[in-house]
Amino acid sequence: MGAFALIEEKQYEAFCTLYEESAHLRAERAELADLMPGNYAIALLGAGRYETAAAFCRRQIEKDRSGARDRSSSASFIALGIAYLALGQGAEALSALAEGTKAVYQDSSRTEAPLLLWCAAVLLEDRAAKREAKKLLNARLRRQSVASQESAAARFLTGKCSGEALLQEADALPPVLRERKRVLALLCLAAADREAGETAACQARLQEAVGLYTRCPAVVMELSYHLAELVLTRER
């Protein structure tokens, strides 16, 4: 079983142990190619090792910003934000996610970090953070000459498409990518339901998002999956 497969099988602790013992050999051994910092952060979140995840992400962010060129990634800030949420540090979570919107390396539409900032702000009932997230989403959508599937969730949250249209856009993608994109879509729909006071609908969306794992284990590679799982677990 390869290192990536350990995460897909939710053998998070096994991946963490392998990373901690062998990551320094990754450049020398092809079978260790999956021992990357981002995958380690995901495994730490999956294993519930939130304090370790937060500390690791902080170190990774510092390392990425320490050279002559800023190599910061929104993924590190998002993972840090999720870890802080799990630790009950809401203000720190929102700060990390907000910083993630400024990272050099982001998804192609640069909307994932502000989307997850909005979802966390809904969870924490922080009006200022919700406003800032939507402001960022609107600004980034204005820069796009053509609407893409990558920005579908952003268009939904800014009132430019319906929830049904959001899911339909994901359905048009190839199988594995479709399920991975549906996680974020369902999380955003759940947060919108929560904001509207539709608690049962929110829970159903979260359960659907987490349930995607049964037919597509690769969804655990999405940070939005771990946020959905965290919220669902905490609110049961």
Region 198-222 average pLDDT: 97
Residue 2's pLDDT is 74
Residue 222's pLDDT is 97
- At CB < 8 A and 24+ separation, what contacts does 198-202 make? none
pLDDT digits (tens, 9 = 90+) for 150-164: 899 999 999 999 999
Region 87-115 average pLDDT: 97
Instruction: Give the percent of the chain with pLDDT over 70.
Output: 98
Region 130-146 average pLDDT: 92
Residue 235's pLDDT is 76
In the block, which residue shows the tokens 């390869």?
2
Residue 181's pLDDT is 94
Residue 1's pLDDT is 55
Structure tokens at 174: 């190839």
Q: Cα(30)–Cα(95) distance, rounded to whole angstroms?
A: 37
Q: Which of 88, 93, 14, 25 is nearest to 57 (CA)?
A: 93
Residue 104's φ and ψ, nearest 5 degrees, are -70, -50
Residue 149's pLDDT is 79
- Say whether pLDDT at 5 is over 70: yes
Task: Give the bridge partners for 105, in sequence order.
Answer: 73
DSSP letter at 89 equals -
Residue 54's pLDDT is 98
Q: Cα(130)–Cα(58) distance, rounded to whole angstroms?
A: 24
67: confidence class by pLDDT, cuts 50, 70, 90: confident
pLDDT digits (tens, 9 = 90+) for 20-43: 999 999 988 888 899 999 999 999
Q: Cα(44)–Cα(36) distance, rounded to whole angstroms?
A: 12
148: confidence class by pLDDT, cuts 50, 70, 90: confident
Burial 122-160 (b: 16+ CB within 10 A, else e): bbeebeebbebbbebbeebbeebeeeebbbbbbbbbbee
Region 207-224 average pLDDT: 97
Region 140-149 average pLDDT: 81
Q: What is the mean pLDDT of the chain?
A: 95
Residue 146's pLDDT is 66
DSSP letter at 174 equals -
In the block, which residue shows the tokens 């994932």?
112
- CB-neighbour burial class of residue 162 (10 A; exposed 0-12, middle 13-18, buried 19+): exposed
Q: Kindly report the pTM of this predicted structure.
A: 0.96
Q: Which domains does the chain have, with CATH numbers?
A: 1-105 (1.25.40.10)
Residue 73's φ and ψ, nearest 5 degrees, are -120, 135
Q: Cα(185)–Cα(164) distance, rounded to whole angstroms?
A: 10
